[in-house]
Chain A
Amino acid sequence: MTASERKRGRRGEEAPAPSISHSWAQPGASASKVTLEPGQVVYFEGRAELQCKGGAVWIQGTYVEDGASSVCLSAAAEAGGLLPIQALPSNTQVPRAPSRCTVIFGPPKDSEAERPLASGWSVHGEDRTQAALHIMPEWAEAASGISAAMQEACAGGGAAAVTAVCGSKGTGKSTFGRLLLNSLLNACNQVAWLETDCGQPEFTVPGLVSLTYIKQPVFGLPHMHPGLPARSHYIGHLSPEWDPQRYVASVTDLARWHAVHHGSVPLIVNTCGWIKGLGEDVLADVLRCSRPSHVVTLRTPNVRRNLPGGQFWLAQGGDIGPLAVPAAAAQAAVIQLPAVTSDGPIGSIKAGPKKLTANQARSLSWLNFARGCCGLPVHRFSWATEVAAETAEALTRARPYTVGFDSVRLQCLHTSVPEHLMGAVLNGALVGLCKEADDIAECLGVALVRAVDAEAGLLYVLSPLPLSSLQHVNLVQVGRLDLPPELLQSGEIVCPYLSSWSLSTVGTGAGAIKSRNNLQRAAQLAA
Chain B
Amino acid sequence: MPLGRLVPWSSWDEWERVRGGLFSADTAQLRRALKQVSAWEARGKLPLGADMTAAIQRMRLRDPALTSPEQQACQRLSAEQESMLRMQYALAIIRLVNGISDSAQKGTVAKSVANLAETAGLPRILVDIRHEASHNELPSLALLRLGAATALAWLSQSYWQQQADHVTLRKSQIHDLLQAYVQSHQECLGRSQDAHGKPDEFGNAAPAQLDAGTSAAEGQKLRREILSQLLSKVQSNAASLVEPLLGIGMLDVSAACPEVAQDTTPEGAAAVALWQATLKDLSAVWPSLCQRLLARAVQDIAEAPTCWKSHAWIQLLLEGPPHKQSMKEGLGHKSKRRKKAAADCDQDPLLTSLWMPSKRLLLSSLSSCIQASASAGKPTSEGTIRPSALQRSVDLILGKLRSTALASNTSEHLKVLADLASTTAANLHGSDTMREDSDMTDAAPHPPADPSKAGPCLGEAIAQQQMLVQQHSLTKDPNGQRTSGWGVAESWAPCAIGMMPCDKSPTGRAPNTVLEPTTVAASELPQSRDPAMQPQHSRLAGSEAQAASAEYFPSERAAEDNAFDHTTAAQMHKSDLATGKSQAMEEDSCYFSRVDQLCAIGRPDLSAITTSMQVTAAA
* Chain A residues near B (Cβ < 8 Å): 393, 395-410, 412, 414-429, 448, 450-455, 457, 460, 467, 470-471, 473, 478, 480, 482-483, 485-486, 488-503, 505-516, 518-522, 525
Contact = CB atoms under 8 A, between A and B. Distances in A.
Contact of B10 (A397, A427, A453, A518): A427
B159 interface: yes
Nearest to A398: B492
Contact of B496 (A493, A507, A510): A493
Given A402-B487, A404-B483, A509-B159, 8 more contacts: A419-B526, A428-B498, A455-B511, A493-B507, A493-B508, A495-B497, A496-B499, A506-B120
Interface stretch (B42-50, B273-281, B305-313, B389-397): B42-50
Interface stretch (B20-28, B98-106, B316-324, B360-368): B98-106
B217 to A, nearest CB: 30
Interface of B: 1-12, 35-36, 38-39, 41-52, 95-96, 98-100, 102-106, 108-110, 116, 119-121, 155, 158-159, 162-163, 166-167, 170, 235-238, 286-288, 479-480, 483-489, 491-492, 494-500, 506-508, 510-517, 519-524, 526-528, 537-538, 541, 545, 552, 559
A409 to B, nearest CB: 5
Contacts of B512: 423, 453-455
Nearest to B5: A502
A409 B236 contact: no
Contacts of B520: 405-406, 410, 419, 422
A448 B498 CA distance: 10
A415 B500 contact: no
Contacts of B43: 424-425, 429, 497
A293 B116 CA distance: 51
B515 A501 contact: no
A508 B49 CA distance: 7
B279 to A, nearest CB: 16
B1 to A, nearest CB: 7
Of all A-B residue pairs in the complex, the 7 with the closest CB atoms, nearest first, are: A404-B484, A509-B49, A428-B498, A507-B120, A423-B513, A500-B4, A498-B4
A513 B486 contact: no
Contacts of B48: 509-513
Contact of A486 (B3, B479, B483, B527): B3
Contacts of B513: 421, 423-424, 426-427, 452-454
Contacts of A452: 511, 513
Contact of A403 (B163, B485, B500, B541): B485
A451 B98 contact: no
A454 B486 contact: no
Contacts of A424: 10, 36, 39, 43, 513-514
Nearest to B99: A513
B6 A497 contact: yes
B537 A506 contact: no
Contacts of A512: 44-48
B23 to A, nearest CB: 15
Residue with the greatest number of chain B CB neighbours at <10 A, chosen from A420, A450, A478, A516: A420
Contact of B103 (A415, A486, A495, A506): A506
B496 A396 contact: yes
A131 to B, nearest CB: 29
B523 A409 contact: yes
A499 B6 CA distance: 6
A489 B238 CA distance: 13
Contact of A515 (B35, B102, B485, B492): B102
A509 B235 CA distance: 24
A108 to B, nearest CB: 31
B158 A509 contact: yes
Residue with the greatest number of chain B CB neighbours at <10 A, chosen from A403, A423, A429, A520: A423
A396 B519 contact: no
